[in-house]
A and B are shown apart, each in its own frame.
Chain A
Amino acid sequence: MISILLQQEPIDAARVQAEAGTAADGAVVSFIGRVRDNSRGKTVTHIEYEAYTEMARKQLRKIVDEAVARWSLNSCCVVHRFGPVMVGEASIIIAASAPHRGAAFQAVQYIIDTIKADVPIWKKEFYSDGSSWINGKE
């Protein structure tokens, strides 16, 4: 099962993890990306994510389809926030399941790295004294 979600609401990580995997899977690997309270020496209050939603959905689907085929995943779920995300909150969760852990670990690493490079979503960091768009990978 594949599921791709772009949403403004907070991510229910426990639910995504609980719903991941099938009876044939010995491994569920999940990655949660969170908003840090600091960036380049500044105090971060929150991040605003902007997405080109139609294209982002297509790109996410492409990346997940590739990962499912390459590592024979039985399930894969990606949820990405847009709008304001506060410090400590999850901006993204990826949960992949496979019969064995090696495939699931590699797939999740591939998916997050490729999302950061290819999916049209941008973050604007807000500090105690201003804000700044982040262009490109950190």
Chain B
Amino acid sequence: MKIKVKAFASVREAVGFEEKELTVSEGITVKDIVHQLKKSHPPLDKFNGSLLFAINEEYCREAAELSDEDTLAIFPPVSGG
């Protein structure tokens, strides 16, 4: 299945892309994707457990499973206002 990954702010700079399409297997979790991304983009390691995730614009946990056509967003703790 195909998913979209979006990265924001310091995470965007760490991975070097804003948006990317990935072909992944059924049942893949956010955690699996982050694990893969950390291998290909070592600067992601510095975020440790602070990363936040959203699937289709709703916050989700690392254990959440993705479905075909989902958009996963990965970002650091927010700092608006």
Contacts and interface: CB of A to CB of B under 8 A. Distances in A.
Contacts, number: 78
A134 B81 CA distance: 12
Contacts of A58: 57-58
A55 B57 contact: yes
Contact of A116 (B8, B12, B80): B80
Interface residues of B, number: 19
- The secondary structure that dominates the A interface is mixed
Interface residues of A, number: 29
Contacts of A92: 80-81
Interface of B: 6, 8-10, 12-13, 50, 52, 54, 57-58, 73, 75-81
Interface of A: 33, 49-52, 54-56, 58, 80, 91-92, 112, 115-124, 133-138
